[in-house]
Structures are given as C-alpha cells and as structure tokens.
Amino acid sequence: MYNCKKCPGYCCSYPLIAVTRRDMERLAKHLGLSAEECEKRHTRAEAHRRRVMRRKSDTHFGRICRFFDTENRRCTVYEARPAICRAFPGDGRCGYYDFLSFERRAQNDPNFVAVTTHD
C-alpha cells in the first residue's frame, strides 16, 4: 500500500504532533531520560495544556519534528514514536505516498520531492 522509507516525511512536518503521557514515558525510556526531562526537552505546551513535539528547521518543509533525520529523511526514534505516528495513516492508504508516487512518475524523477508548507 505504501512505503514510509520512500517518503520525505510529509506527516512529520505537521505543525502539531500531539503526545500523551504514555508517549513521553516510552520516548524517555528510549532516550534514557526521565519522563519529566523528556517532556521539558522535546515538547512544548499547546492550547488546553496539550503537549506537542518540538520542531526544527527543514529544507523541504520549513519545520519538521525534532526527531526527524533531515539528511537521511527518516525518524530517529521510530521504535519509541508517539501513538499518533504509530496510527498514521489510519485505515487505508497514505495520501501523501500516493501524491509523491504520482509526482515522481509525472516528473520522471524517482527522487522528486514536492515541497509543501503547513504554516
């Protein structure tokens, strides 16, 4: 249906990647931190006391999840990624992958990356 390893990280560029307390515990264990320290370093507060992943600069999308390797275009904490990332894209196909596949065929370029912004 789709292969995340061939995607430049569209879903990782979402401006809000919400994390739960359980997500923080899993990520903290993976990073060798306390849940509190992990939350402080790697998330920020959003409306209604919700926590979201911090972001960093990215040449393709402007901003992307801080745990995304922008050179190799992959998640660096894949085994400990948040539940929302684990559930993506939900039932069915990944629309981003379909879009990317179409553009690569249309451009006759297997490495083509369509730049989008979410800001």
Is the pTM higher than 0.85? The answer reads no
**pLDDT at res. 96:** 79
**pLDDT at res. 104:** 82
CA distance 94 to 14: 15
**pLDDT at res. 116:** 55
Whether residue 89 has a cis bond before it, omega within 30° of 0 = yes
CA distance 100 to 92: 16
Query: Angle, to 10 degrees, between the axis of helix 35-42 and the axis of helix 21-31?
Result: 100
Q: Are 53 and 42 in contact (CB under 8 A)?
A: yes
Q: Are 33 and 42 in contact (CB under 8 A)?
A: no
Q: Which two tokens stand for residue 20?
A: 């739960």
**pLDDT at res. 47:** 77
**pLDDT at res. 40:** 94
Task: Enumerate the domain spans of the chain.
Answer: 4-107
**pLDDT at res. 91:** 73
**pLDDT at res. 66:** 95
Successive 10-residue mean pLDDT values, the chain, 119 residues: 74 91 96 94 87 93 94 92 86 77 83 61
Q: Are 67 and 53 in contact (CB under 8 A)?
A: yes
